[in-house]
Structure 1
Amino acid sequence: MATEIRVPTLGESVSEATIAQWFKKPGDAVQQDEPLVELETDKVTVEVPAPAAGTLESIVVKEGDTVEVGALLGQISEGAGAAPAAPEKSADKPAAKPAAKADLVDVITPSAGESVTEAEVGEWSVKVGDTVKVDDTLVELETDKAAQEVPAPVGGTVVKITAETGA
């Protein structure tokens, strides 16, 4: 299943951005949180990190295009490109059932522009135990230049909040 790369919220009064540069091309392996594309607005330049690890499957918008907040930029496919080969079944052993496992995903403070090095944690929109969908707003970060909403990189359950309001 592919993971969508979307334009993040860029501040209260910013509704669109221009694709400045793609750092990867389709087929390239990407690590979660690795910068994929740089967006420019009239106020800030922002790097959009990979929401998941895998292979950059597609780029939907090219450099120089203008996109709105929330627009689809591209997709990442799971794994390193090729699907893994199916394991051979032994006639004398039953197939093992995979163990259910929940992957934890860290939500990292996004880049807020070249000259911005810190932000204050604003109000949290979620609490521990809440279920969220991809791109649901988790928290608002405030800098001396702008406020930025941080979206959920994946759907799931909030298990821990490490930065309290005001930090």
Structure 2
Amino acid sequence: MRRSDIFSVAISNSMSWKLKKIIPARELLHQLGGWNSVVHNDKYSIKKAYKLLMGSFEKVEWSRLICNNKASPKSKFTLWMVLQNRLPTADRLSKWNIPSSIRCKLCEAEDESIQHLFFTRDYATTIWKVFIARCIGNTRLVLFVKRLGRPGSKLVGKDVKLGSMLGYFIEAVYAIWL
């Protein structure tokens, strides 16, 4: 096998099991664009191969909120469910033909929806007022809101206090859902 072209070597019974697994991968290498597409500075680059295998995906906006923060996993999951509009609210349950009233069970004032539970219900508005009151005068809140509205920007970076604010925000969403 020495000094042989990888694309012309035939698999034989005398080869080790590792080579028997690696050699068929040459077809995949060919599909990726050949050896030159996975080489950087004349060395194989696992990073380049990985990126070619994974392809390109559109970056989702919610990843800046969910990933790389110190909020509890259950809180991050709840926020993700809110952002995806997947919480089992009464208005969604009624669309699945599950028999129940769509009125909010907690206040009976409006139909139960994500909008109502997290923004218009008295309990939610109280939590958001406290959150904002604790952040008023904090220049980091302004920075947090600006970054939140700017796609592609790092939301927190290395700012510990801003990271804490993000964690509090996520925990507040969870508290409202409880």
Specify which structure has the bigger relative contact order, considering alpha-carbon pairs within 8 angstroms and separated by 6 or more residues: 1
TM-score, scaled to structure 1: 0.22
> Is the helix fraction higher in 1 or 2?
2
TM-score, scaled to structure 2: 0.21
